[in-house]
Amino acid sequence: MNERNIELVEITPKDFWGAQDIHLEAIKKYYPKLKFVARGTTLKVYGEEEILEEFEAKFKRLMLHFTRYNNIDENVVSRVLESDAQEAQFMHDRDKILVHGVSGKLIKAMTPNQQKLVDTIIKNDMVFAIGPAGTGKTYTGVAMAVKALKDKQVKRIILTRPAVEAGENLGFLPGDMKEKLDPYMQPLYDALRDMIPPEKLEDYILKGIIQIAPLAFMRGRTLDNAFVILDEAQNTTHSQMKMFLTRMGKNAKFMITGDPGQVDLPRRTISGLKEAILILKDVEGVGIIYLDDKDIVRHKLVKKIIDAYKSIENHD
C-alpha cells in the first residue's frame, strides 16, 4: 500500500481539523478508499497511488485556503474536493482584494464563481448575478461599487430594491417613509457597514454620494457616473425592470442581482428578472453570471436547507 505524509505547515491542527475533527471526517467521506492517520501536524494517507496523487493536490488547496482566509468549514471542504481544473487554478491564483473594509477586514471573492462575477463586472457595463441566498451576489456587488467609488471610477453609488415582500404592504407599516423602507434596505446597509467606517458612511449618505432607495424612486432619473445595483430583482415586474435598465447614463455600471427561485410577486405576474435574462442574453456588453450552492458562504446549514427544498420542489 502506498503512503503519503503531508505536513500542516504554519497551521494549528486543532483549528484546521475543527471541533471533534469534523473537517477530517468530511474529507474521509470524499475518499472512502483512502486510510487517514492524523497525528500532530502530520497527516499520513494510505491507498492507491493515483487516488493519493489527486487527494494530495486538492488537500494542498485546502491548506492554501486556510492560510489565506484563516478559516475553513464544511462548505469549503466540499467546494475544494469537488473542484475541477479551472477552479484549481483559481485557488492557486493570488488573492485579489476588492476592498480593505472596517477594522482591517479584507473583502475579496471567496469562490471561483464570485471571482467570475468580479471579472465580468470589470469587463461589462451591465451584469446580471443570478443565484440562491447566501452566494454573495449582493455583497460582491457592493464591494465592487465601493471599490469603484474609492478608485474614483464613479462619483456615486446607488443601491435599490423593489419594496415587495411576501404578505406585506408599505401602507400598513408604521412610521414615515424612511422608517417604512429601511427594513427592506437593511441587507444593503449591512454590506456597506462592513466596508466603510460609520462616520464616513453617514457622511456619504447625507451628501448623496451613496443613495439607498426603493426602485420606484428611480423612475424619471438618468443615472450618470454611478455604480447602480438593483437587488432582489426577481421581484420586479416587466415594466419595472425595463424602466430600471433604461435609466443607465454615461459612465455607469449596472448590476442586477436576484434569485429566480424566490419570487414574491403575485401569482401569474412574470418576474422582470427571468424575462430580462432571456431577452438580453446575447446582447454585447451585458454579462450574466450564475452562482450555485457551491458558492454559499453563509452558515453551513444554508446549503443543506436549499438542498432540502430543492428535493421537495423536484418531486412536485
Please indicate whether residue 298 or residue 172 has the higher confidence score (pLDDT). Answer: 298
Mean pLDDT of 144-153: 91
pLDDT-derived band at 173, boundaries 50, 70, 90: very low
Which residues sit opposite 129 in a β-bridge? 257, 289
C-alpha cell at 202: 453617514
Question: In the predicted model, is pLDDT for residue 12 greater than 90?
Answer: no
Least confidently predicted of 71-75, 183-187, 232-236: 183-187
- The whole-number pLDDT of residue 166 equals 34
pLDDT in tens, 268-285: 889 999 999 999 999 999
- The whole-number pLDDT of residue 94 equals 45
pLDDT in tens, 86-128: 555 555 554 577 887 787 677 888 888 899 999 999 999 999 9
Q: How far is it, in rounded angstroms, from Cα 183 to Cα 165? A: 11
- The whole-number pLDDT of residue 168 equals 39
157: left (phi over 0), alpha (psi -120 to 50) or beta: beta
Buried b (16+ CB within 10 A) or exposed e, 55-84: beebbebbbebbeeeeebebbbbbbbbebe
- Give the phi and the psi of residue 304 in degrees, each rounded to 5: -65, -35
- Give the phi and the psi of residue 223 in degrees, each rounded to 5: -100, 95
C-alpha cell at 163: 419594496
pLDDT-derived band at 167, boundaries 50, 70, 90: very low
- The whole-number pLDDT of residue 268 equals 86
Whether the CB-CB separation of 295 and 136 falls below 8 Å is answered with: yes
Contacts of 204 (CB under 8 A, 6+ apart): 157, 196, 210
- The whole-number pLDDT of residue 179 equals 59
- The whole-number pLDDT of residue 214 equals 84
